[in-house]
Amino acid sequence: MQQKPDNRLKIENLTVFRSELPLFEPVSFSMKAGEAIQIKGTNGSGKTSLLRCLCGLSHRHQGLIRWNDANIDDVKDDFYAHLLYIGHALGLKPKLSIEQNLDFYQQLRFTQDQAIILQALEQLKIGAYHDELVGNLSAGQKRRVALARIISEPVSLWVLDEPMVALDVEGQAWLERACNQHLADGGMIILTSHQTIEGINGLTELRLNETNWKETYLMDEGLA
């Protein structure tokens, strides 16, 4: 999909709930083409939960998510057509080959381009294993297969949850280069990472400030 230089994402007073209690104080931010943001916070602060809400995988939140000035609930088809989410669970079928997994995700977007799949695998140094079953791969190789989707499914908005996990130094450097090319082409990136990221151009940070929901929950349950 060709990048649209006028795409915009805006988050207004968003927080996520667990057991009816907010995980973090409301956050607001906006993004436009060519921008990247890293969500930071301690373990359990709600980083993954925030990403899942942004992608429509969870509705346990309060606040507004706007895509090109419209509520994403009103423009779902357009929003999801521009979105690629790669989470902790990589979403790979172990009994399918590498190439079959990537082909499956392409078909969900009503496209089929074997050439770009092979190109992606070559970039990630796993082209020789294109017909290998995913279940036979190492953790690092599986991560590379999942990340190949950012090449084989060219969309505007990447949402990446801990994308550096299980990658060696070479793989991390490749991902940073791929991110920079995506931004230069007018894409947007939201990511989390426990690792220090210095190679993504213009990467800004948003830190989640935890609420005292844990203490409140224990008090309400009579456990404090």
- The CATH fold assigned to 1-82+155-224 is Rossmann fold (3.40.50)
| Mean pLDDT of all residues in 149-171 | 96
Report the length, in residues, of the chain: 224
Residue with tokens 């009816």: 20
Tokens of 3: 């990048």
Would you give the distance in Å from CA 111 to the centre of its chain? 21
The pLDDT assigned to 210 comes to 85
- List, for residues 167-219, the tens digit of each pLDDT value: 999 999 999 999 999 999 999 999 999 888 999 999 999 999 988 655 555 44
Does the pLDDT at position 160 exceed 80?
yes
CA–CA separation, 30 and 206 (whole Å): 11
CA–CA separation, 55 and 73 (whole Å): 11
Is the Cβ–Cβ distance between 7 and 156 less than 8 Å? yes
| Mean pLDDT of all residues in 131-152 | 97
| Mean pLDDT of all residues in 91-115 | 96
pTM of the model: 0.91
- List, for residues 8-60, the tens digit of each pLDDT value: 999 999 999 988 889 999 999 999 999 999 999 998 899 999 999 999 898 88
For the chain, the structural domain boundaries read 1-82+155-224, 92-153
